[in-house]
Amino acid sequence: MSKKIDLIDLKILEELKSNSRISFNDISKKIDKTEATVRRRVKKLLDEGIIKRFTVEYNIDTKQKVSATVKIIPDFKEVKRILRELSEVDEITNIWRLSGDCGLLLKVDIPSIEEFNPLIEEKISQIQGIKIIETCFITDIIK
């Protein structure tokens, strides 16, 4: 199998490199060759392993944020200070005061699950006067 390419092959490769979805017809117009020629040459480039694959570049954040709830019981004599300190933690997006002896419910958003324990250990647990009762990861938002 020959792996020699010429100027026409290079032009085809450059067109495909900038847009792998471009039609053979559009390439043929750009390089002034017939569509049949472009089709045959692309097939040859694939068969010879010169073109390994067609790919896509994308512009989205592939890391999905992780959300969780953290239920805590505060020392109610220190609740104003505790609420103020909790409010300063960037990852805490919501704080709800619950009725009765239920305490506080926090919603946290973090970039990845690996960052959950450091958030609990290094930030939330360091606030004096709170006891963490329960943590739950949000797996699906229904409404």
Question: What pLDDT is recorded for position 100?
Answer: 84
The total of structural domains in the chain comes to 2
Q: Give yes or no: residues 99 and 130 share one domain.
A: yes
Question: What pLDDT is recorded for position 104?
Answer: 96
Question: What pLDDT is recorded for position 11?
Answer: 93
Residue 2 in any domain: the answer is: no
Q: Give yes or no: residues 83 and 133 share one domain.
A: yes
Q: Going by C-beta distance under 8 Å and a sequence separation of 6 or more, which residues neighbour residue 2?
A: 48
Q: Give yes or no: residues 43 and 86 share one domain.
A: no
Residue 53 in any domain: the answer is: no
Question: What pLDDT is recorded for position 60?
Answer: 62
Contact (Cβ atoms closer than 8 angstroms) between residue 50 and residue 10:
no
Q: What is the pLDDT of residues 77-95, one digit of tens each?
A: 999 999 999 999 999 999 9
Residue 61 in any domain: the answer is: no
Q: Give yes or no: residues 122 and 84 share one domain.
A: yes
Q: Cα separation of 118 and 78, whole Å? A: 24
**CATH code for the domain of 22:** 1.10.10
Q: Cα separation of 118 and 114, whole Å? A: 8
Question: What pLDDT is recorded for position 50?
Answer: 92
Low-confidence ranges of the chain (pLDDT < 50): 1
Range of the domain at 88: 66-137
Q: Give yes or no: residues 77 and 107 share one domain.
A: yes
Question: What pLDDT is recorded for position 61?
Answer: 61
**CATH code for the domain of 85:** 3.30.70.920
Question: What pLDDT is recorded for position 1?
Answer: 46
Q: Give yes or no: residues 72 and 43 share one domain.
A: no
Contact (Cβ atoms closer than 8 angstroms) between residue 69 and residue 135:
yes
Residue 129 in any domain: the answer is: yes
Question: What pLDDT is recorded for position 37?
Answer: 96
Residue 88 in any domain: the answer is: yes
Q: What is the pLDDT of residues 30-41, one digit of tens each?
A: 999 999 999 999
Residue 95 in any domain: the answer is: yes
Q: Give yes or no: residues 84 and 122 share one domain.
A: yes
Q: Give yes or no: residues 71 and 118 share one domain.
A: yes
